[in-house]
Amino acid sequence: MREHRRSTPRLLTAALAAGLLAGAALTTTATAPPAAAAPQERPSVQSLDTLRDWAPRQFRIGTAVAGGGHHTSADYPEPFPNDPTYRAFLADQFSSLTAENQMKWNHIHPEPDRYDFEQADAIVDFAEQNGQVVRGHTLFWHSQNPTWLEEGDFSPEELRAILRDHVETVVGRYAGRIQQWDVANEIFDDAGQLRTQDNLWIRELGPGIVADVFRWTHEADPQAELFFNDYNVEGPNAKSDAYHALIQQLLADGVPVHGFGMQAHLGLQYGFDGRMQANLQRFDDLGLATAITEIDVRGPVGEDGQLSPELRQRQTDWYAAALEACLAVEGCRSFTIWGVLDEHSWVPGTFPGQGDALTLEGDYQRKPAYCALQETLATGTGHPGRDRRWERISPRLSCAADRG
């Protein structure tokens, strides 16, 4: 029996949201259950002050919607279903949402004969109410699979049927409502070799299953753009070369591959790959859409949980450089920050002693990295969606005064 529970969140009042966006400390909380809301009216040019307002036309600035995964064992209620301030910020700041964990296998398909769509439905509904698109994440991955799947005694034929049913059920449910799907996630290791051992599907069904999952996804939703997605592919290297070669082969075979996503989980200790634009461009040259899908920039933090001023400046520069690289490539029209507040980030739990990876303080105050993104969106050139009026009104950026 499949669950079809639905929960549609409600925005804060306009006055509260305005105070939040100005960086004011919030003292008001809301405890009423969320309710449906009409689509939010966007502000006038004179009051433009958010990332989504400054983005070029047809360019999506996004974030991951915090929920599932590590949030279920954290010392705070899951942010999206429980925090109206958080939801108001999502609605105002971003034009694209990605389910951080709520569409992964272990969350949406927890038992063999049961799908749980409650939180995924709520995200998609919320996005539509607020004029946002959704990136679906993810259908085919070696991680965060449910125990019943990883430890089940299934024949190859049964596994193939399970995968196809999952794709048809999940993608079909949101057909026409998801802009982009991360279909195949992290299928190569850093040496550019297929994950033939830790990826259940490739190990048991062979490499040809990759083409099949793209075909099934396209059949379930012909309107969605279908992506490969991975980390450590910012520049040309063994892993990104492997994707480049595989995608050319799949395209030659008529497989519906439409995009390539760079996660860009960056560590300040490793250096910034200045070839990001060139690498995005070579996938663009294949006729693909490209995207920065999961960016955060982490580093070693002090007892206060923050980077040093020097590292924060480097972080600021890297965020801006990544966005500039995307804006410079015609087909790169989506840039997603992997979260809103550091207290919700996956980074500290995965990389002990590191953090401060996102663009806002815990009270929604803007870090220099946020201001760099806003300024880059407002003053950058070269993207086909650029409206020249932004350059004339850029002094109205609130961050301009903050950064002197």
For residue 11, what are the contacts with CB-CB under 8 A and spacing of at least 6?
Answer: 17, 37, 40, 84, 87, 88, 91, 130
Virtual CA dihedral for 11, 15, 16, 20, nearest 10 degrees? Answer: 110
pLDDT-derived band at 49 (thresholds 50, 70, 90) equals confident
Residue 140 covered by a domain? yes
Least confident of 58-72, 91-105, 183-197, 367-381: 367-381
pLDDT-derived band at 375 (thresholds 50, 70, 90) equals very high
Report the pLDDT value the prediction gives residue 36, as an integer from 0 to 100.
Answer: 37
Nearest 5°: the CA angle 388, 394, 397 is 145
Burial of 2 (0-12, 13-18, 19+ CB in 10 A): exposed
Tell which wins on pLDDT, 16 or 289: 289
**Would you mind telling me the total number of residues written for the chain in this entry?**
404
For residue 265, what are the contacts with CB-CB under 8 A and spacing of at least 6?
Answer: 231, 294, 295, 296, 298, 338
> From CA 192, how far away is CA 245, in angstroms rounded?
10
Q: What average pLDDT does the chain have? A: 86
Report the pLDDT value the prediction gives residue 20, as an integer from 0 to 100.
Answer: 32
Burial of 245 (0-12, 13-18, 19+ CB in 10 A): exposed
Report the pLDDT value the prediction gives residue 125, as an integer from 0 to 100.
Answer: 98
Residue 26 covered by a domain? yes
Residue 15 has pLDDT above 70, yes or no: no
| Crossing angle between the packed helical segments 209-220 and 238-252, to the nearest 10 degrees | 60
Least confident of 264-278, 295-309, 362-376, 382-396: 382-396
Please give the single-letter amino acid code of residue 4: H
Residues serving a catalytic function are 186, 294
Report the pLDDT value the prediction gives residue 379, as an integer from 0 to 100.
Answer: 84
Total structural domains in the chain? 1
Residue 153 covered by a domain? yes
- Model confidence, pTM: 0.86
Q: Which residues pair with 300 in a beta bridge?
A: 354
Residue 372 has pLDDT above 70, yes or no: yes
> From CA 272, how far away is CA 106, in angstroms rounded?
33
- What's the whole-number mean pLDDT along residues 369-383? 83
Residue 98 covered by a domain? yes
* Residue whose C-alpha is closest to residue 292's, from 383, 229, 367: 229
Say which CATH number the domain at 297 has.
3.20.20.80
Residue 111 covered by a domain? yes
Residue 101 has pLDDT above 90, yes or no: yes
| H or E element in which residue 134 lies | strand 133-140
Query: Helix, strand, or coil here: 294?
Result: strand
Tens digit of pLDDT for each residue in 274-315? 999 999 999 999 999 999 999 999 999 999 999 999 999 999
Residue 26 has pLDDT above 50, yes or no: no
DSSP state of 91: H
pLDDT-derived band at 395 (thresholds 50, 70, 90) equals very low
Please give the single-letter amino acid code of residue 47: S
Residue 2 covered by a domain? no
Residue 51 covered by a domain? yes
Q: State which residues form the domain around 365.
A: 14-403
Residue 8 covered by a domain? no
Tell which wins on pLDDT, 1 or 93: 93
Residue 389 has pLDDT above 80, yes or no: no
